[in-house]
Structure formats: C-alpha cells, structure tokens
Amino acid sequence: MLHLARALALAIMISPSLPALAGPNADALGRCLTDNTTGKERKELARWIFIAMATHPEIRQLSAAVPSDLEQASKTTGALFTRLLAESCPAEMRAAMQNEGAQAMQAAFGTLGQVAMQELMSDRVSYDGEMRAMLGPKRYEEYRAFEKSKPYRYEMPEIVAFASKRNVSIDEPTQATLLPLLQEFGLHNSETWEGPYDPRPRPGVGPEQGLALIDESSARVAAGLTKFQENAKARLPDKVREAVLSYFDQMLKGFDEARRMMLLPPEVARAREEAHIKEQMKRLGVEQPENPKPDL
C-alpha cells in the first residue's frame, strides 16, 4: 500500500512525456484503469488531481480551492482508487509493479488523467454549441459575459470580509461599482476549473513552472493595482478604495512569500513535499508505516 500511496501522489505531478516512457505492463494497467471508470468518475479524478495541486502550500496563493474542497474530493477519489486497484485491476497492478516499478504506476494513472482531461475539454466544446443554439446571439453573449466575471465574483466576498475586519463596509451598490473595476484591471486571484468556460488547469510541476505561475499572477495583479489606483478614486469611497488597495497589496506580499518558498534549498523543499504527500495520503485513508522500506 505504501508503494501505491507514493505512486498516486507522484501521479498528480506527472510530466506529459512520462506515459511515452512506460512499458507494456504500465500500458495494460492504464487501459484497465480507463476501461473500468465512467465518464463521471474520470471527471471526479481530474477534479481531485487539480485541487490537490491547488492546495499545495507553495502554490495555493494561485487558486480559490480550500482544504475542505480537497477533503471532499479525496473521499470520492479514495473510494475509486480502492475499487480500481483492489477489484477491477489487481492483476495488472501487480504485473506493473513487479516488472516496471513505481514509474509504471505513475504512467498508468497519468494515462487515466490525460483521458479525463481530453473528455473534459470535448464536453466543453459540445456544451458551448448547445448554449449558442439555445440562447441565441444576444443572450449567449450575456451569458458568456457572466461566465467571464466569475473570478471577480469569487474574489468579492474575500474583499468584503477583509474590509469588514478593518471596519469598512462594502454594501451591495458599492460592490456593483467595484466588480467591473476589478474585471477591467484583472484584479483577482480566484480560479476554478470545473465550469464550462473556466480555464484549463495549469499545475506547476517543479520550481521552474511554479515560479512562472507565481510571477505571472504577481505581474498581472501589480499592473492592475496601479491602474486601479489611478482610476478608482472618483468611483469609490476613499475608505473602500484604500481597503481594496490594502487587500491586493497583501496578496502581492503572499506571492513574494510563495516565491521565496519555491527557492528553498532542495533538501528543505523535498522535506516539505514529502510532508505534503503524507497529508494527501492521510486524507485518502492510506495507512503508512513508521519506517517505510525504500521502493524497488
């Protein structure tokens, strides 16, 4: 079970090239996993993978996902893993581990994850066509405008709560004025992946990609904050404007801290990563011995 725990944890960070390096046993296990899951189960698996990435301590600043989201997704995925490997594909799993090692498990689950993502994107294309036909041009554009505003709508309660702690009230009319300003200047740090028009998940694999994601978000917020400061003075009460500026200033500081953590020495980063993996496996209910034997 320990080998399984490590393989599943590593599978969420798998590179696109790894399945190409898999052997015949990994291929067979990947086919078995895919053949024995429904479309709904594959969507749940994809959701768990990306929530797990989004709640990682070093990149959680980049997503609206919270630990409770991961806990719920982990329960569903844990049951799926148990069924697949204990009931549906036990022979394929044993052959893969015995003949090709932990990398075979990573590759097999990577294959399943790729299938899930392909299906998700195909579903989105079909959905968009259906909505265009059903709503007509005008209402379709209104609907798409609402979908585009989602990251900023998700950010709004956080801003309101932040301001409230500073004794600044942001009522609904003021929120209605603030929302288009946030959207105009790209001021948000909330992102979801399950909606029909949400962006495709972009988990950062390793320090280089993680730093790129942090730097991209930090640059966007910093540029937007400068424009917001220049344009919001005549449109918002001073206290509200100052609270919003302070909120995003703290967000930028969070990005800086996340970047600093990414640049930790490899041994420190590895210890943090192992602790994170153990936490994920604990959420899945996978028991781990106190003195694990090294993987073969």
Write the pLDDT tens digit of every residue in 124-139.
677 778 778 888 888 8
pLDDT of residue 13: 44
Domain ranges for the chain: 2-125+265-283, 138-262
Write the pLDDT tens digit of every residue in 33-77.
999 998 888 878 777 766 766 555 544 554 555 667 767 777 888
Which H helix or E strand runs over 38?
none
Q: Could you tell me which residue, 272 or 192, shows the higher pLDDT?
A: 272
Is the sign of the CA dihedral 261, 58, 164, 243 positive or negative?
A: positive
* 191 close to 64: Cβ distance less than 8 angstroms: yes
Q: 3-state DSSP call for residue 185?
A: coil
Q: Residue 89 burial (CB < 10 Å; 0-12/13-18/19+)?
A: buried
* 114 close to 33: Cβ distance less than 8 angstroms: no
Q: What is the mean pLDDT of residues 168-173?
A: 95
Q: 3-state DSSP call for residue 35?
A: helix
What whole-number distance in Å separates Cα of residue 59 and Cα of residue 262?
Answer: 9
Who's near 205: CB < 8 A, 6+ residues apart? Answer: 13, 14, 15
Tokens 């899951």 appear where? 37
DSSP conformation letters of 227-294: HHHHHSTTTS-HHHHHHHHHHHHHHHHHHHHHHHHHTS-HHHHHHHHHHHHHHHHHHTT----SSPPP
Q: Could you tell me which residue, 281 or 99, shows the higher pLDDT?
A: 99
Write the pLDDT tens digit of every residue in 234-274.
899 999 999 999 999 999 998 898 888 778 787 776 777 67
pLDDT of residue 261: 77
DSSP H helical ranges for 89-149: 90-100, 102-148
User: Does the pTM of the predicted model rise above 0.75?
Assistant: no
Q: Could you tell me which residue, 171 or 130, shows the higher pLDDT?
A: 171
Q: Could you tell me which residue, 217 or 121, shows the higher pLDDT?
A: 217
Q: Taking all residues of the chain, what is their mean pLDDT, rounded to a whole number?
A: 77
pLDDT reading at 203 higher than 60: no
What whole-number distance in Å separates Cα of residue 101 and Cα of residue 96?
Answer: 6
